[in-house]
Amino acid sequence: MKNFTITGDAITVDDCYAIVESGAQIALSPEAEERIKRCRATIEKLMAENRTIYGVNTGFGKLSNTRIKNDEAESLQQNIVISHACGVGKPLPSNVVRMVMFITMLRFAKGHSGIRLETVNTLIEMLNKGVIPVVPEKGSLGASGDLVPLAHIALVLIGFGEAMYKGEVMSGAEAMKIAGIKPVVLGYKEGLALLNGTQVMNALGIFAIMESFKLFKTANISTALMMEAVKGCMPAFDERIHAIRPHKGQMAVAKEVKSLLDGSGNVGKSENIQNPYSLRCVPQVHGATLDALHYVKSVLETELNSVTDNPLIFPDDEDVLSGGNFHGQPLALALDFLAIAISELANISERRIEQLVNPQLSGLAPFLINNSGLNSGMMIAQYTAASLVSENKIYASPASVDSIPSSANQEDHVSMGSISARKLDGIVENVRNVLAIELMCAAQAIDLSDAVEGLSPMTAKVYKAIRQRVPILEKDRTLYTDINQIAGMIRCGEL
């Protein structure tokens, strides 16, 4: 995608991801421009009438009852940006910041924020020319939106802060100058419009959900490869079982794994009449994760197409309403759910790894290596998987159940949604590596069980792709490079 015009109409999570990842050039439609200008005219009219409006001619948070003189209203907007830019920690990835900026533009195009068209166009110019603010990842409570990280984006817009430009970190002023962009002098309401909103947790959630669908598909593939290796029995995937417990995800997983194994000469050859739960209950476990993924994606998509700053302006009625659309609770709960759902993919995968490396369970050479004792084989790979699964249990602990009041108790319940969003990155990486270990072990087990010739057409492709990068383990070697190779295949979507 080379170009995208923001109209104010709803877009999907998939489109948002594709637009940002492709680096498409962004523009506003005439209709979106008109909505922005009309909303701005409303706020200017109300200011001319000397109306008291929160955050426009009052202080913020606990200071909302402090009236600001009209001739100081513009200074108020710069002050809020400067004072709120107090984030800490490593910078957010540039692609996340780009998505945050893009979501901000989508919101402004709805015409309820009161920001000037020239300010929005400057933000668009920054994105199109590659001036990407440096945004520390920590500091948001997810209540008045992502105030702290959004302030770091607005800093560069006004010529302060730091930015990444053409691969180099420099001052925001320098980046804007080199790119030929004139910094903005904020008008009333604009600082608040730029800082209130849930764009950071929304963007982080979108990246996490896109990766999570890859992990889900990979988990089904690794299950199929595992079934080939142990010559598992197929009744658990029979559609009749799932038709009488018709959860959509469960039915979809059973159908997909069965399809992957279609034409296999290995499955059903074991003497066991039942698979262990880590295989037999894959439709139920992976399926529950799939249902969760669809729910979370729907929440992210609703938020993507929402207006989440405050106060909100309704030009038709000439009303300015102060509400709580910036509160991140809908996202916080959904993203904590996502953390739990994808952690389960690793939990059950690690148990399948144990089924393979344990000779009492697999019937294969101990730890999937000949001449074991002299060789440790895949023994410690299972340790690594167990370590990652345990770490995920900490990450999956919900952030949304916590709340610390702020702003002298004016903001007395916060969502902690940005924490729910940020910890997903660690979970995604851990799940990816656990699945990589399972795929590595399954390929090794297929070789040891002489199952190569009986592979289904689909599992044969997966096995061949793995073996092109990771040779059979004849004797001990460092396995981290093998794990990294397969994890890379998962990350890029090759499998």
- pLDDT tens per residue across span 16-39: 999 999 999 999 999 999 999 999
Q: 3-197 with 204-491: one CATH topology?
A: no
169-228 pLDDT per residue, tens: 999 999 999 999 999 999 988 999 999 999 999 999 999 999 999 999 999 999 999 999
**Among the CATH numbers 3.40.47.10, 1.20.200.10, 3.40.50.10490, 1.10.10.10, which is that of 204-491?**
1.20.200.10
**Separation between Cα atoms, residue 258 and residue 268, nearest integer Å:** 12
Domain limits, the chain: 3-197, 204-491
Tokens of 24: 């498409």
Let me know if 406 is exposed, middle or buried by CB neighbors in 10 A (0-12, 13-18, 19+).
middle
Cβ atoms within 10 Å of 425's Cβ, excluding its own:
17
Statement: residue 322 has pLDDT above 80 = yes
What pLDDT does residue 272 have? 80
Q: Alpha-carbon distance 355 to 402, whole Å?
A: 38
* 304-313, 399-408, 430-439: least confidently modelled range: 399-408
Q: Which residue has the higher pLDDT, 217 or 412?
A: 217
Residue 241: Cβ-neighbour burial (10 angstroms; 0-12, 13-18, 19+): middle
**In the predicted model, what is the mean pLDDT of residues 486-492?**
97
Residue 69 has what pLDDT?
A: 80
In terms of CATH, what superfamily is 3-197? Fumarase/aspartase (N-terminal domain) (1.10.275.10)
* Higher-scoring residue by pLDDT: 46, 304: 304
Residue 162 banded pLDDT, cuts 50, 70, 90: very high
- pLDDT digit string, tens, across residues 349-405: 999 999 999 999 998 999 999 998 999 999 999 999 999 999 999 999 999 998 888
Is the pLDDT at 345 greater than 80? The verdict is yes
For residues 279-297, average pLDDT = 98
Residue 31 to residue 11: CA distance in whole angstroms = 16
For the segment 64-93, the average pLDDT, to the nearest whole number, is 87
Banded model confidence at residue 70, pLDDT cuts 50, 70, 90: confident
pLDDT band at 409 (very low <50, low <70, confident <90, very high): confident
What average pLDDT does the chain have?
94
Query: Would the pLDDT of 407 be above 90?
Result: no
Q: Band the pLDDT of 413: cuts 50, 70, 90.
A: confident
Which percentage of the chain shows pLDDT scores above 90? 84
Report pLDDT for 270.
Answer: 80
- Mean pLDDT over 460-486 rounds to 97
Which pLDDT score is estimated for 177?
98
The values of phi and psi at residue 479, to 5°, are -95, -10
pLDDT value, residue 303: 97
Query: Region 426-431: what's the mean pLDDT?
Result: 98
Mean per-residue pLDDT, 58-64: 74
Q: How confident is the model at residue 273 (pLDDT cuts 50, 70, 90)?
A: confident
Question: Would the pTM count as exceeding 0.75?
Answer: yes
Q: How many Cβ atoms are within 10 Å of 334's Cβ, its own excluded?
A: 27
- Whether residue 61 has pLDDT greater than 80: no
Distance CA(152)–CA(87), nearest Å, equals 8
Q: 167 pLDDT band (50/70/90 cuts)?
A: very high
The pLDDT, as a whole number, for residue 185 is 94
- Give residue 125's pLDDT: 98
pLDDT in tens, 86-99: 999 999 999 999 99
Distance of CA 395 to the CA centre of its chain: 14
Bond prior to 311 in cis (omega within 30° of 0) = yes
Give 108-148 pLDDT, tens digit per residue: 999 999 999 999 999 999 999 999 999 999 999 988 889 99
Q: How close are the terminal C-alpha atoms of the chain, in Å?
A: 24
Catalytic residues: 54
| Per-residue 3-state assignment (H helix, E strand, C coil) for the chain | CCEEEECCCCCCHHHHHHHHHHCCEEEECHHHHHHHHHHHHHHHHHHHCCCCCCCCCECCHHHCCCECCHHHHHHHHHHHHHHHCCCEEEECCHHHHHHHHHHHHHHHCCCCCCCCHHHHHHHHHHHHHCCEECCEEECCCCCCECHHHHHHHHHHHCCCCEEEECCEEEEHHHHHHHHCCCCCCCCCCHHHHHHCECHHHHHHHHHHHHHHHHHHHHHHHHHHHHHHHHCCCCHHHCHHHHHCCCCHHHHHHHHHHHHHCCCCCCCCCCCCCCCCHHHHCHHHHHHHHHHHHHHHHHHHHHHHCCCCCCCEEECCCCEEECCCCCCCHHHHHHHHHHHHHHHHHHHHHHHHHHHHHCHHHHCCCHHHCCCECCECCCHHHHHHHHHHHHHHHHHCCCCCCCCCCECCCCECCCCCHHHHHHCHHHHHHHHHHHHHHHHHHHHHHHHHCCCHHHCCHHHHHHHHHHHHHCCCCCCCCCCHHHHHHHHHHHHCCCC
Assess contact for 225 and 443: CB atoms under 8 A.
yes
